[in-house]
Amino acid sequence: MAGTRFVDEVRLRDPGGQRVQLTVIGAEPHTAYNRVLLSSVLAGSLGLDAVRLHDSKWAERNRVDLRLGRPVGEVCVEAQQVRLAGGERLDYDVLVLATGAIPWFPPVSGLCTGDGSLADGAVAFRSLEDCRWILARAQRGEPVVVLGGGVLGLEAAGALAGRGNPVTVVHPMGHLMERVLDPSAGQVLAEQLESLGVRVLLNAEATAYRPGRLELATGGPLDAGLLVVATGVRPDTRLARTAGLGVRAGILVDDQLRTSDERIHAIGDCVEHPLATSGLVDPAFDQAGVLADLVTGTDPGARYRGTRTVVRLKARGIELTALGESRLDPNTRDAEVICLRDPSRGRYAKVVLRDNRVTGALMLGFPDAAATITGLHDSGAPAPSDRLALLLGRALPAEPTVLDPAELPANTLVCRCNSVTKAHLQRAFRERLDLPERAGVAGLVASTNATTGCGGCRNLVGEIAHWLAATDGSGVRGIQQHRERNGSLLR
Ligand SMILES: Cc1cc2nc3c(=O)[nH]c(=O)nc-3n(C[C@H](O)[C@H](O)[C@H](O)COP(=O)(O)OP(=O)(O)OC[C@H]3O[C@@H](n4cnc5c(N)ncnc54)[C@H](O)[C@@H]3O)c2cc1C
């Protein structure tokens, strides 16, 4: 996804290709797709075709020499060449590594074959092919075990339970999603999942696998007609390592996304940068934009300065958003922490503030508040003084406007699943000026795919569509009427 976004960003700055000639080499056989939406495909809310990012004419339209299904086997730094599978060599002036991440498998006896791939009946959840395979294998009623209670494991579990499979999640830690949730939130989440038919085993260690059966250190064995292994990913550094580039956990890059060889850059899940969180798409897209500025010469001063990330669980019947210092102990004296626990209704909310700004939050079962609080976190705007109302998604009318579409910065990420910003929606509106449904949400959705992931941005896209219609896309006329009609989105 980082590589594709980089190409799109380059062509925005250099549409005719006068400054940059582009060759894209992909190991996967198909054109780019939105990996983030694979959970929705598994859940059945999107078809496989809906995740495609490009049509078959994209490469031609964008003057891209596209080579699919041909992994790069070697980077020859001295010769400034890459060698493709099959032996062909290509010269480069600038090389961008966007090799992503590869699933990591725990040392469970029988889980992996001699070549490191998974044994029969077990599958990772990373690619379109994995998704296809799971859908084919998980016939209704087939018992499924998901190894790993992180975001991906739980999204797979929720999706398959929704399809009628008995699902058990096996998680080695004391609570779910321990990297972003505190223990209380983890407990409420586990109860929520159980109520949706997902069995959750915590502190559970898988010891041995053979097709159809997973052994645990205590309890078990479990029937596993299908075993989904979602135990984490590691940056794919294989090419970089063999090329002799600087690598620790990921490929080391500086603020210009340069590796230890200044002609080679790296972006996305494969990199290690002090301010980047790996495994999330927003940092990858920010890096792609910075690198496009540099490579096209549009902004030689562009630098990557980190990304405010948000983690959302895309699972049927569960609304979970975590951002910033979400795990902070509610009893800390360092920061202002407001917490609300309502386990019988499957709800938990925590907001962390420093100097009156949101620096972290955990929102389980509070979708309205989650949208507002995410907006406050992204914009760095001051929080309303009535903290409880904020937590409940009911900040008072007297509070200042925070998410007025007119005042949102153009680069505000509106649809995180499809990485659609306010500027993308404005552009889509302008491009559809002659079409009958130009002013409506449907038109914007058709052009950008916004709202088609988890759907959490539906209200905001609606507000922006109204605002664009009221201002005829200029963002100037009618703003006052819009405010009078809608007031603040906080309300
Ligand atoms: C099911 C699922 C749901 C997700 N949900 C979210 C979410 O809600 N929010 C979020 O922020 N993130 C989410 N992610 C993570 C997100 O998809 C990644 O952060 C994002 O894809 C990173 O982009 P990337 O380009 O760095 O890596 P990738 O998208 O993995 O792309 C890397 C590409 O490089 C190719 N490649 C590797 N080696 C070579 C080679 N030698 N030659 C040629 N090609 C090569 C790979 O085949 C792959 O196609 C999700 C991931 C999955 C799997």
pLDDT tier, 185 (very low <50, low <70, confident <90, very high otherwise): very high
Ligand 1 and 440: CB distance under 6 A? no
Report the nearest-CA residue for atom 24 of ligand 1. 100
pLDDT tier, 484 (very low <50, low <70, confident <90, very high otherwise): very low
483, pLDDT greater than 90:
no
CB 222 within 8 A of CB 210: no
CA–CA separation, 467 vs 474, rounded Å? 10
Report the nearest-CA residue for atom 5 of ligand 1. 36
Percent with pLDDT over 70 in the chain = 93
Q: How remote is the CA of residue 472 from the centroid of ligand 1, in Å?
A: 37
CA-127 nearest atom, ligand 1: 53
Report the nearest-CA residue for atom 32 of ligand 1. 100
In the predicted model, what is the mean pLDDT of residues 284-301? 96
Report the nearest-CA residue for atom 38 of ligand 1. 99
Q: What is the pLDDT of residue 400?
A: 44
Q: What is the pLDDT of residue 436?
A: 61
User: Where is average pLDDT lowest: 62-71, 129-138, 166-175, 407-416?
Assistant: 407-416
Q: How remote is the CA of residue 2 from the centroid of ligand 1, in Å?
A: 8
Report the nearest-CA residue for atom 34 of ligand 1. 99
**Residue carrying structure tokens 């099959």:** 86
Q: How remote is the CA of residue 39 from the centroid of ligand 1, in Å?
A: 13
In the predicted model, what is the mean pLDDT of residues 426-442? 75
State whether the Cα torsion 440-443-446-449 is positive or negative.
negative
CA–CA separation, 434 vs 274, rounded Å? 46
State whether the Cα torsion 137-140-145-146 is positive or negative.
positive
Q: What is the pLDDT of residue 378?
A: 83
CB 458 within 8 A of CB 451: yes
β-sheet bridge partners, residue 227:
122, 145
Ligand 1 and 282: CB distance under 6 A? yes
Q: What is the pLDDT of residue 132?
A: 94
138, pLDDT greater than 80:
yes
CA-233 nearest atom, ligand 1: 53
Residues 251-274 pLDDT 10s: 999 999 999 999 999 999 999 999
CA-38 nearest atom, ligand 1: 1
CA-239 nearest atom, ligand 1: 41
CB-based burial label for 422 (10 Å; 0-12, 13-18, 19+): buried
User: Where is average pLDDT lowest: 274-283, 286-295, 390-399?
Assistant: 390-399
Q: How remote is the CA of residue 488 from the centroid of ligand 1, in Å?
A: 36
CA–CA separation, 251 vs 234, rounded Å? 11
In the predicted model, what is the mean pLDDT of residues 445-450? 83
Amino acid identity of residue 321, one-letter, is T
Residues 47-79 pLDDT 10s: 888 898 888 899 999 999 999 999 999 999 999
Residues 186-237 pLDDT 10s: 999 999 999 999 999 999 999 999 999 999 999 879 999 999 999 999 999 9
477, pLDDT greater than 50:
no
In the predicted model, what is the mean pLDDT of residues 114-139? 94
Ligand 1 and 313: CB distance under 6 A? no
Report the nearest-CA residue for atom 12 of ligand 1. 280
Q: What is the pLDDT of residue 482?
A: 44
Mutate to test the pocket of ligand 1, among 281, 310, 417 (most ligand atoms within 8 A of CB): 281
Report the nearest-CA residue for atom 2 of ligand 1. 36
Mutate to test the pocket of ligand 1, among 76, 239, 280, 323 (most ligand atoms within 8 A of CB): 280
369/212: higher pLDDT: 212
pLDDT tier, 398 (very low <50, low <70, confident <90, very high otherwise): very low
- Dihedrals phi, psi of 359, to nearest 5 degrees: -115, -5
Name the average pLDDT for the chain.
Answer: 89
Q: How remote is the CA of residue 253 from the centroid of ligand 1, in Å?
A: 18
Q: What is the pLDDT of residue 359?
A: 95
415, pLDDT greater than 90:
no
Percent with pLDDT over 90 in the chain = 65
pLDDT tier, 490 (very low <50, low <70, confident <90, very high otherwise): very low
Cα–Cα distances in angstroms (integers) from residue 178 to residues 149, 189, 190, 326, 327, in the given order: 9, 11, 12, 11, 8
Ligand 1 and 125: CB distance under 6 A? yes
Q: What is the pLDDT of residue 491?
A: 26
Ligand 1 and 253: CB distance under 6 A? no
Ligand 1 and 286: CB distance under 6 A? no
- Dihedrals phi, psi of 72, to nearest 5 degrees: -75, 130
Residues 324-335 pLDDT 10s: 999 999 888 899
Q: What is the pLDDT of residue 437?
A: 59
446, pLDDT greater than 90:
no
CA–CA separation, 127 vs 131, rounded Å? 6
Q: How remote is the CA of residue 101 from the centroid of ligand 1, in Å?
A: 6
CB 384 within 8 A of CB 401: no
Among 446, 378, 358, 458, residue whose Cα is nearest residue 417: 458
Among 362, 274, 356, residue whose Cα is nearest residue 310: 362
Report the nearest-CA residue for atom 11 of ligand 1. 280
Ligand 1 and 284: CB distance under 6 A? yes
116, pLDDT greater than 70:
yes
Ligand 1 and 283: CB distance under 6 A? no
Instruction: For the chain, give the secondary structure using H, E and C.
Output: CHHHHHHHHHHHHCCCCCCCCEEEEECCCCCCECHHHHHHHHHCCCCHHHHECCCCCHHHHCCEEEEECCCEEEEECCCCEEEECCCCEEECCCEEECCCEEECCCCCECCECCCCCECCCEEECCCHHHHHHHHHHCCCCCCEEEECCCHHHHHHHHHHHHCCCCEEEECCCCCCCCCCCCHHHHHHHHHHHHHCCEEEECCCCEEEEECEEEEECCCCCEEECEEEECCCEEECCHHHHHCCCCECCCEECCCCCECCCCCEEECHHHEECCCCCCCCHHHHHHHHHHHHHHHHCCCCCCCCCCCCCEEEEEECCEEEEEEECCCCCCCCCCCEEEEEEEHHHCEEEEEEEECCEEEEEEEECCHHHHHHHHHHHHHCCCCCCCHHHHHCCCCCCCCCCCCCHHHCCCCCEEECCCCEEHHHHHHHHHHCCCCCCCCCHHHHHHHHCCCCCCCCCHHHHHHHHHHHHHHCCCCCCCHHHHHHHHCCCCC
Ligand 1 and 71: CB distance under 6 A? yes
Q: What is the pLDDT of residue 441?
A: 82
pLDDT tier, 439 (very low <50, low <70, confident <90, very high otherwise): low
C-alpha 125, offset from chain centre: 14
- What contacts 466, CB < 8 A, 6 or more positions away? 405, 482, 485, 486
Report the nearest-CA residue for atom 7 of ligand 1. 36
Amino acid identity of residue 164, one-letter, is G
- Dihedrals phi, psi of 206, to nearest 5 degrees: -80, 135
